[in-house]
Chains A and B, each alone.
Chain A
Amino acid sequence: MKWRLWLAPPCRGDEAMAWDEALFLSEASRPEGTPVLRFYTWQPSTLSLGRFQHPEAGLNPGISQGSPLPVVRRTTGGGAIWHDQELTYSLTCHQEHLEVSGVKASFELLCGFILKTWQAFGWEAGFARDSDPQGRWGAVTAACFAGTEEYDILVQGKKLGGNAQRRQGKAIFQHGSLPLRLNWDILRQIFRPEDCPSPEHVTDLASQGWLGTPQELAEQLAEQFCRHLDVVPELWEPGPAEYQLFQKSLEKYQDPEWTLRGYGAVRDFNHIASP
């Protein structure tokens, strides 16, 4: 099985989300298409809200409206993330591209490469559910990193990054945030005290002693991805078809109506003809 690998340049939040959506709408999510794994960073740093998250939920007053911080709304659910010094991945595929079916199984499979990467670094890493099989997971939190869910990845007992999936029929999209270094001062300015992630429960790569660049991390993750899913990578960049989809999606992600009031809207992207 071949996967296309796109080591994308840094981009603004609205562009980052529009590219992710363009890939989800492209042939990559169809059974006959070739799936895509993308890595990117955010420039400037941006706050992303979950698909159905109220723009003020869990945030200090004025953060999502009236502050100079760029804000976008994701197409995936969950809580808000401050994308700062991090590497983000996104992957787009069809159920038939995977050897498992079902949401949880696919999520476990598609997060497995991250787990393998941390383990290859020599870290004690596992899914949250394995660290405490009796644990109650899934509490809804306004900040993504503040919650712990079954398939969150823990390193030495602390959550490292967050991942979320979107599905339409058998088309699968997943992206995740991998913080190289969390800025706790900024996080405390953004999130209300009761919703703010804390260093007691959350970690980043720098705290684990890894001080490489986003590009170096992307290369390590890509290698583990190919090994874990037994796929062959093909370096790739979007062509005119994807760019056309990107332009269409960009209008939405630049529209404050979507960012600030999109939590009530049902349709957020065009339908994928998914058999």
Chain B
Amino acid sequence: MTEKRYTKNGEWAAWDRDRLVVGLSRPAVDALGEVTFVAPPSTGQKLLPGAPSFTVEAVKAAADFETPVAGTVVLVNELLKATPELLNKDPENEGWIFVLVDAERSAWEGLLDSQAYQAWTQTGAS
């Protein structure tokens, strides 16, 4: 995967050739605590920012997250079904959540780069 871009809520997106891999950042996962279940979107589903795309259930809170960029889901991380703790262990690599096609590069470029995201999380605003 190449450079990651982030939303203020902690979703990340990174290009893998023409497909966009989406996941949840380390600070966002740490804020939730021990993950017990991940409900990804369905393959074939068209996702738009502004609507819940996936849900992560942790011990005390279940939280909904949005896709950072519009696109169609072609793959979900099946490993998270049996081992949701993978999201705690390695949220920004092995714990990826789904893959999109038909995503716009310009929309991705509008997200926060890692430096800006880090600055955002350090303000305590996440």
Contact = CB atoms under 8 A, between A and B. Distances in A.
A163 to B, nearest CB: 8
A146 to B, nearest CB: 14
Nearest to A100: B124
B38 to A, nearest CB: 9
Interface residues of B, number: 28
B52 A103 contact: no
B124 A167 contact: no
B42 A266 contact: yes
B39 interface: yes
B12 to A, nearest CB: 16
B52 A266 contact: yes
A167 to B, nearest CB: 4
Given A101-B124, A104-B31, A266-B42, A150 B61 contact: no
Interface residues on A, range: 20 to 34
Contacts of B53: 266
B93 interface: no
A53 to B, nearest CB: 9
B62 A166 contact: yes
A137 B58 CA distance: 12
Contact of B63 (A104, A163, A167): A167
Nearest to B36: A140
Given A101-B125, A168-B63, A266 B39 contact: yes
The CB with the most chain A CB atoms within 10 A, among B42, B63, B125, is that of: B63
Contact of B60 (A51, A165, A271, A273): A165
Could you tell me the dominant secondary structure of chain A's interface residues? loop
Contacts of A165: 60-62
A77 B37 contact: yes
A77 B62 contact: yes
B36 A104 contact: no
Nearest to A152: B60
B63 A149 contact: no
Nearest to A167: B63
Interface string A160-201: 000111111100000000000000000000000000000000
Contacts of B57: 51-52, 77
A177 B60 CA distance: 14
Contacts of A164: 60-62
Contacts of B42: 266
A103 B63 contact: yes
Nearest to A274: B9
Contacts of B62: 51-52, 75-77, 164-167
B59 A137 contact: yes
B100 to A, nearest CB: 15
Contact of A138 (B31, B59, B125): B59
Interface string A134-154: 000110100000000111000
A103 B60 contact: yes
A107 interface: yes
The CB with the most chain B CB atoms within 10 A, among A77, A150, A169, is that of: A77
B34 interface: yes
A77 B31 CA distance: 16
Contacts of B31: 102-104
B73 to A, nearest CB: 11
14 contacts: A51-B57, A52-B37, A75-B62, A76-B62, A101-B126, A102-B31, A103-B60, A103-B63, A140-B59, A151-B60, A166-B64, A265-B39, A266-B39, A266-B41
Interface of A: 51-52, 75-77, 101-104, 107, 137-138, 140, 149-151, 163-169, 264-267, 271, 273
